[in-house]
Structure 1
Amino acid sequence: MVQVTFKNNPVTLVGPEIKIGDKAPEFTVLSTSLEEKHLSDFAGKTVLISVVPSLDTGVCDAQTRRFNEEATGLGEDVVILTISCDLPFAQKRWCGANGIENIYTLSDHRDLSFGDAYGVHMQELRLLARSIFVVDQEGKIAYVEYVSEGTNHPDYNSALEAVKTLAK
């Protein structure tokens, strides 16, 4: 069982712990234009899923900017999704203000479909726990990081190395 804290307070994660080799669970989230998006929309590609509690916080901002910058050098067979519980309108505003255009920013606010499927729904806060998942072209989990303290950064280099290994 994954143990996560947020501002040093333990939180309860709802959903299963995802492990390397698992079939990546399907989910339904909303784009910034309120269109439903699913993992299956990106079938056949390597997918890096960057999960953040809220784009309007320092670490989440930095994490999303980092993956947006890295996206241009990863090739056309790689897709990066940033998923949070922020409203789609807030995500759209934030992306526009920050020049984010190389990744998909998706909202799980409606029913926590992603959070519950990937075990990152922080029950006490109704936010998603900071985490990274990499899904290979066959739809299997190739990399997982549940960040133990929600205000810490993920291991960017390890996540990107996992993507680059798959994209070769």
Structure 2
Amino acid sequence: MSHYITTHDAKGQSVYSNKTPTEPHTHLIPGGTLEILYSSHQFPPSLSTEADIDQYAHDRTHIMEGGICPPHGTAAAIVSFEPNAASVWHRTMSLDVMVILEGVTEAHLEGGEVRILKAGDSMVQPGTMHLWKNVTPGDGWAKAVAFASAIQQPFEIAGKTLGTEFKM
């Protein structure tokens, strides 16, 4: 699988960037793998220079402590779940949009609700505690693309200030 980023040349014409490798960088995560497709450290990003590409060149090989999304930015990633694997329970300080690309997953919420998502299904997660489980028949992998945008903090719900959480 190849990954390309576009930019502009000295004449202002669109060209492919040569600052990042075209091969993805895969991170091992509990229950699967993660490939960071892009990240920005401010929203909206400044595109007048290639500072965003330079920052992404670093981010693609480093997972941030609170997840894939920088505290004031955005991110996109491919998440692959091993057969029958489950993620850890987690909440990130981001508004996440997940689109299932292949396989079948269960999305569990801390209130006990579960939804089945298949290829083409999507879910929006505004800072909610959740867990993903791969239930693809025949021991298949499941794959999703994730888009994340940082949220305003403090983040308060029902009188409680919420933050990033990972429950192993």
Interval containing the TM-score (normalised by the shorter chain) = under 0.3
Higher strand share: 2
TM-score scaled by length of structure 2: 0.23
TM-score scaled by length of structure 1: 0.23
Q: With CA pairs under 8 Å and 6+ residues apart, which has the higher RCO, 1 or 2?
A: 1
Which structure's CA Rg is the greater one? 2
Higher helix share: 1
